[in-house]
Structure formats: structure tokens, C-alpha cells
Amino acid sequence: MLCLLALLLVLGVFLLWMYHGVSPVVHGEYGEGVPPAAAFCRTEGALRLCDESDTTLGRHVVQVVTRFRVVPCLLIVEDTTAPVADPVTLEFPSGYEPTPDQFIADLKDADRVAVSFFEEYDFSPAGTQAVVIHLEDGSGNQNDVVSTARIRATVDQVLVEAGSPIPTVDPFLTEGFHGSLLDPITEEMLRTPGEYRLRVECPENGRVFPTTLVIQDTVPPSGEGQFLILQPGEDVPPEDFLANTDDVTALNYLFAVAPDPDSREIQDILIRVMDAGGNQTDVPAQVLYSSLGRLTVEAKNGLLTGDDLGHPEGSPEPFMANAPGTYPVRVQLGETTEIAMVTLVDTTGPTLSLKEGPFYTHHALSPEQLVDAEDVTGTTLSFLQAPDETSDQPQTFTVRAVDAVGNETTMAFPLTLQVDDTPPVLYGVVDRSGYVGEPIVYLQEAYAEDAVDGRVDMMVDSQVILSRKGKYTVTYSATDQSGNTASKSCTYTLVEPAVTEEQVHKMAQTVLSQILTPDMVTAEKMKAVFEYVRARVHYTGASNKTDWRREAIRGNQEGRGDCFTVYSLTRALLDELQVPYMSVTRRGGATRHYWLIVNIGTGWYHFDPLISRVHKHKCFMWTNQQCKVKPYFWRFYEDNFPPIATDPFNYDAVVQAEREGKLP
């Protein structure tokens, strides 16, 4: 027990010595850092603190180093200072919801601070009111700051696009307020981007509130470039290259792509157009430096000459001058070449002349049928006084001609119409055969042609009863525009079909697929058909001449027959090729002979692939004259058929013309 007391006494003496002149507990303010060493030891100079880094709120052990000892002390860091801030006068429009922190500035405190409204405020009435802002830091220290709210009946600013109509006062006021602008908004302001301070007076409280009109320009300017022809050395500003511009603000111009004054070519350039809002647009234009400039020349049917340009010494490039318009034309002037912009104009009316006749009564006549018009441009003709189409007496008609640019010529012409009293000629009206139960194509090998009207329609009067075999009379007739009529009759013999049309069609398709190639033109196909039939059918002198379809099948299958067999097989193949043909029968003689005449766009020619013991001639596209090598063999009733071509058929020339698309 005595030992313990002695120990305690010794400890007490040690502590008295240890803490002699030293404060074991020191209080520090949060945010001010660790107190200096002297704050812990006042009677004996302290040298330093071993640990000065911990200044957070709470209790911290600090080692105080004195001259003779190191003493542990307790540092208690506390926050006893309330936060402070400067008041702010905040101005805003009615209806705006400010936050508490907007009413203070320069907030100071060592700890986090909660900023709130002291009470709930109504910021909708316009005017000035005090606003108390409550501040409280993390240690519970509190303070209140009294600020000011100035509530306007106007909005902060109104954005208006440059060039818009002058706005009314309504966009400047917040909802529920009325007022009038004290500062006028001018057209000049609306054309100049910027900010304009305005005042609005509100009758509700008689107060005047500020607002701002902001003129913005977000639409780039537009412009249309033009083509200028300048003399060499001439200098013009960039805006001269613009035909027009469009923007509501002031514009500036510069070359984005400048012209080269030494060039004599047509140049593409760019003009940069900039408005007061900073928007810009690059507008394309063109320029030509030329001593020739713009020239106007009367259009003509021929090449442009130096005399046409007013420069006899010049040699223009070959250029047809028959189309009105403006064109760049290169002209050689001595050692140099320049471009002239030549405008071809047509100021001359059309030249009219009467066509050679004859012209006939009872025919519809148009100005184009009667009159030739010559002009460098297209011409439209019309009657000012039309002729009497029913009269064959001398008369006068008047034509008005207008060319493509509006030049006009009016001229009267004498006219005597002739009377057409010649009827049409009927071709192909010969005795034929058909099949019971099958329709007859009466006009397949028959047509009418008039010396004046050309092809005319044919009428058919048939007594054929398709359901009954036998012989029937069929009458063809045709009438021209003058009323002349011709008619002719023939006999149609109907027989029972032994083979169908489809069987003949399939046979012909099979043969053609074997002898033709896709690249053949019609003349080559005709040659292939001729050679095939000529080699296929061997002459025996016998056939069934009542049924051409059956004979075509038999001739191809058996390879023998006579002229009717050859004719029938040929006809079947030409039907498949859709080549126009007519069936011909020999006139007179001890026996009959059958063949075809064909027209592939070169006129009618004889087409007969027959070969026999006594007949070796190759009647491929022959004329009547060529057929006379065998007298009477191809003699026929020529009046029943169209005229046969007189020029020998030039196979190679026709093939070439077909390949070039020059055959009718």
C-alpha cells in the first residue's frame, strides 16, 4: 500500500514537472488551422509541434516539444462562427422562380452551409420586396441575410429575327400584365442586329420596367450571279457580278474565287455575300475578258463568217448560224484567239412558195400540203382564206406563216384543183381456198391502191358459209376520196381441214429454229428459207392441190412433191416470219404453176424455190424481166397484183441497209 502511494506521489511529481507551464487542453476554431506551439506553453518557450496536419473538427493529440521535454496535449477543434454573406439585389420578371443562393454573394464559412428562404415568398406581384436568406453551417451556427427582390412585369429579353414586323408590347410582358412601350421600335432597329434596352410602363402599378429587344440575323443572304463580258484590263467590284441580292441587313462583298484578268476563257467565279449578322453565301457568277464583247448576228442557214461578226479579218471556228440564241464563238484575230458572245436573232419572216401539184377536188387540203415554207427556225402554217375543196375552177387561197420567234409572212396563191375520176386498183383478188369451220382473213393477200389517195380501205361482200364446204363468190370493193369505186369478185373454195393450223405452226417453228440464227436480218432469213425449201422438196410432179396446209406438212415430212408443195411449204414458213406475200398462179399453159411474190420493204419480187429436172433457175427475189429467162413459166395476170420491182434485187446492199436501219 505504501509502495502504491509512493508510486502515485512520484507520478504526481512527474506530471507536475511535465506539464509545468504547459496547457494540457487547448481549444481551436475550425478553419483557422492548428494553434501555434506557444498557445500550449506560455511560461516556457515551446520549440515546435510534432504534428500540425490535423485540423478537422474533433479531438486531436498534439506533441509539444519544449526545450527540455516532449509533452502530449489535447487539441479540441470546434466551429463556433456563424456563416456570413453579402446581400444581393436580384431583378427578374414576374413568374420567375429564383433560388435562395441567387440572393447572396461572397458566402464565407469553414464548413458546409445550407442556404434557404427564411419564409415562403410570393414572387408574382411586380415591385420590390425584402427577402431573408437563412444560413446554417454543419455545426449549427446560423445567420440571416436580408436581400432585395425587384420583380418586373417584363421579360428579360425578346428575340426577333431581323426583317420581321415590328413586335407589339405583348411579348415583352409576363403573363397577366399589361403595359405600353415608352421607347419606340424602329424599322432601322429591325434591320440592325444587336441589343436594344426598352422601357415598359404598366398601368397596374404605374411603374416602369426595363426589358431588352434582341435583333438576331440567322438567315444567310441570297443572290443571283450574272455573266459579265469585260474589256481586257477592266476592273469591276465583286457586287457588279450580282444581278440581285436579298437580305434585310446591310451587305458586304468580296471575291471568294476571283477572276483572272489575263485569261481569255469564260471563267467561273464566286462572290461572297456577307450580312450584318455574320451569315454568308457564295454566289456563282461568270466573266469573260474579250475585246470582241457581245455581237448580234442575223441567223442564217450556213456557217458564221468574219463578215457576219463585223470583223472581216477574223476567222470564227466552224459554227452553224441557224439556231437563234446566244453562243460563245472562238474567233482567230491575227496571232490571238478570243471568244465573242454571239447572239443569233431571226428578224426575217418565212419565205413561201406554192408546191407542184396536182391537187384534187374532194380531198382535205392543209397549208403544209400546198405550200413550202423556208426559214431558219420552225414554221407554223395556217389558212387565212382556205381553198374550196369542191371546186375545179381557178381560185385563190391565203396562207399565214409564223416562225419560231414570231416573224410572220402572209401570201396569196392561185390554185386550180383537178378532178380525180380514176377508181382504185384492187390487187390480190384471185380465187382462193379456205377451211370449213375456220374464219377467213379476206385481206391477208388483198389490198386496194389509188393513184391519188394511195392505199384505200377495202370492203368485202362474202357469201361464204363457213360451216359448209363448197365454192362461194366473194366480192371486194374500194372507194377513193373522190367517190370513184372499183369492185372485183373471186371464188373461195372451202374444204375440210386435214391438218390444223397449230400443226403447221409447230412445223414451221421447228424448221426455222434449225435454219435461222438470232443475228439474221429479214433478207438473210428469206435466203435461208429459199435454200431450205429448194433442197428439201424433190420434184415428183404430184401433189394434192386442194389443201395447202396438208401439202406443206407432207412436203416437209416426205421431201417430195411439185410446185404446189414448194409453194405450200414456203407459204407456211413466211407466215411464221410475218413477211408480206401474195399467192400467184400461172396464166394459161398446159399445167398450173404456183409461187409467191414478196415484199420485205424493197418492193415486190418473185419468190419461187422450185427446182425440177427441167427447171434449174433460182428465182430468188426476181423481177419480171429476170423471169423471162424461161418464157411463159412465170407468166401471170399482172393486173391482179401490184407492180413488180424493176431493179434487180441487190442482196448484199439490202442486208447492209437492214443492219443500219435504213430499210423501210
| Per-residue pLDDT tens digits for 63-106 | 777 766 777 878 888 888 889 999 999 988 888 899 999 999 99
Average pLDDT over residues 358-381: 94
Average pLDDT over residues 399-414: 96
- The answer, yes or no, to whether the previous bond of 358 is cis (omega within 30 of 0) is yes
Of residues 417 and 2, the one with the higher pLDDT is 417
Region of 356 on the Ramachandran plot (φ > 0 left; ψ -120 to 50 alpha; else beta): beta
Average pLDDT over residues 199-220: 89
Q: Is the dihedral of CA 101, 104, 107, 109 positive or negative?
A: negative
What pLDDT does residue 62 have?
76
Reduced to 3 states (helix: H, G, I; strand: E, B; else coil), residue 513 is helix
pLDDT value at 317 more than 80: yes
Average pLDDT over residues 213-225: 94
pLDDT value at 616 more than 70: yes
Question: Looking at beta carbons, which pairs linking 316-324 to residues 24 or more positions away fall under 8 Å?
Answer: 316/340, 321/297, 322/376, 322/377, 323/299, 323/376, 323/377, 324/299, 324/376, 324/377, 324/404, 324/405
Nearest of 623, 545, 627, 537 to residue 573 by alpha carbon: 537
Give backbone dihedrals phi and psi of 518, rounded to 5 degrees, phi first. Answer: -60, -25
Nearest of 17, 118, 107 to residue 69 by alpha carbon: 17
DSSP 648: P
Nearest of 363, 485, 476 to residue 424 by alpha carbon: 485
pLDDT value at 151 more than 60: yes
Average pLDDT over residues 291-306: 92
Burial per residue of 163-176, b for 16 or more beta-carbon CB atoms within 10 angstroms, e otherwise: eeeeeebeebbbee
What pLDDT does residue 346 have?
94
Q: Please give the grid coordinates belonging to residue 605.
A: 419480187
For 565, half-sphere exposure in the C-beta direction (CA atoms, 13 angstrom radius) is 25
Residues 6 or more apart from 319 whose CB is under 8 A from it? 303, 304, 327, 329, 342
Angle (CA) 609-615-621 rounded to 5° is: 35
If pLDDT is split at 50, 70 and 90, which confidence band does 17 have?
low
Q: Are strands 581-585 and 458-462 parallel, antiparallel or unpaired?
A: unpaired
If pLDDT is split at 50, 70 and 90, which confidence band does 111 have?
confident
The stretches of 346-402 forming alpha helices (DSSP H) are 367-370
Q: Is the dihedral of CA 350, 351, 356, 362 positive or negative?
A: positive
Residue whose grid cell is 441567387: 102
CB-neighbour burial class of residue 9 (10 A; exposed 0-12, middle 13-18, buried 19+)? exposed
pLDDT 10s digits, 448-501:
999 999 999 999 999 999 999 999 999 999 999 999 999 999 999 999 999 999
pLDDT value at 7 more than 70: yes
Residues 6 or more apart from 155 whose CB is under 8 A from it? 93, 171, 172, 173, 174, 211
Q: Which residue type does 468 have?
A: R
Whether the Cβ atoms of residue 243 and residue 226 lie closer than 8 Å to each other: yes
Give backbone dihedrals phi and psi of 402, rounded to 5 degrees, phi first. Answer: -125, 125
Question: Looking at beta carbons, which pairs linking 456-461 to residues 24 or more positions away fall under 8 Å?
Answer: 456/424, 456/480, 458/426
pLDDT 10s digits, 551-575:
999 999 999 999 999 999 999 999 9
Whether the Cβ atoms of residue 308 and residue 261 lie closer than 8 Å to each other: no
Mean of all residue pLDDT scores within the chain = 91
Q: Are strands 227-230 and 222-225 parallel, antiparallel or unpaired?
A: unpaired
Q: Please give the grid coordinates belonging to residue 297.
A: 448576228
Average pLDDT over residues 628-645: 93
- The interaxial angle of helices 522-536 and 651-659, nearest 10 deg, is 140
Strands of 280-289's sheet in order across:
227-230, 280-289, 267-275, 251-257
If pLDDT is split at 50, 70 and 90, which confidence band does 57 have?
confident
Average pLDDT over residues 43-68: 66
pLDDT value at 516 more than 90: yes
Rounded CA-CA distance 520/493 in Å is 37
What pLDDT does residue 44 have?
55
Number of neighbours of residue 458 by Cβ within 10 angstroms: 21
Reduced to 3 states (helix: H, G, I; strand: E, B; else coil), residue 626 is helix
DSSP 640: G
Q: Which residues lie across from 67 on neighbouring strands?
A: none
Average pLDDT over residues 410-428: 96
pTM for this predicted structure = 0.55
What pLDDT does residue 369 have?
95
Nearest of 435, 380, 444, 385 to residue 406 by alpha carbon: 380
What pLDDT does residue 50 have?
58
Residue whose grid cell is 496547457: 23
Average pLDDT over residues 300-317: 92
For 4, half-sphere exposure in the C-beta direction (CA atoms, 13 angstrom radius) is 1
Most confident residue range from 193-207, 306-320, 518-532:
518-532
Average pLDDT over residues 336-360: 94
